[in-house]
């Protein structure tokens, strides 16, 4: 009987997911990466209670990622300065979704969430986001 090995003896850490997100980001088309500008990427275990309340989400496992900030298409040079744009990936909900959907790798799921949130940063439609994701996979 052959023994199968998983890449992790335990659940991937925040640093492991950050490394996956960085690797996923580097697989994206160069023009797409360049357009992200100065967006900050962050990995947290769960969304904060404030974020869940603001979005009307009761289950912390129901949110795998979030774009916070003003999307590129709606920024105004003459208005008040916008705070830093941030893309958050939530480790525990991502791991939970991955465990439920065994047909994709964790890396594929991280890429999917990352592309989706970057798309929101750019103000793209879901169809545009799907097209970019298809070009990666």
Q: In the chain, where are the structural domains located?
A: 14-72+81-136
Is CATH 3.30.930.10 what the domain over 14-72+81-136 is classified as, yes or no? no
Does 48 score more than 90 pLDDT?
yes
- Residue-wise pLDDT for 66-120, tens only, equals 988 765 555 555 555 556 778 899 999 999 999 998 788 999 999 999 988 888 7
> Which tops the pLDDT comparison, 40 or 18?
18
User: What pLDDT is attached to residue 4?
Assistant: 42
Burial class (CB in 10 A: 0-12, 13-18, 19+), 134: exposed
CB 46 within 8 A of CB 95: no
Mean pLDDT of the chain: 82
């Amino acid at each position: 009987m052959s023994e199968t090995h998983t890449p992790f003896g335990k659940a991937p850490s925040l640093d492991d997911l950050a490394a996956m997100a960085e690797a996923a980001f580097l697989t994206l088309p160069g023009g797409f990466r360049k357009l992200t500008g100065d967006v900050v990427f962050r990995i947290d275990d769960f969304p904060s209670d404030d974020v869940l309340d603001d979005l009307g989400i009761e289950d912390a496992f129901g949110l795998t990622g979030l774009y916070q900030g003003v999307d590129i298409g709606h920024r105004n040079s003459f208005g008040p300065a916008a705070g830093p744009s941030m893309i958050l990936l939530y480790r525990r909900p991502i791991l939970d979704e991955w465990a439920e959907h065994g047909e994709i790798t964790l890396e594929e799921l991280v890429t999917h969430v990352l592309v989706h949130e970057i798309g929101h940063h750019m103000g793209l439609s879901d169809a545009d986001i799907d097209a970019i994701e298809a070009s990666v996979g």
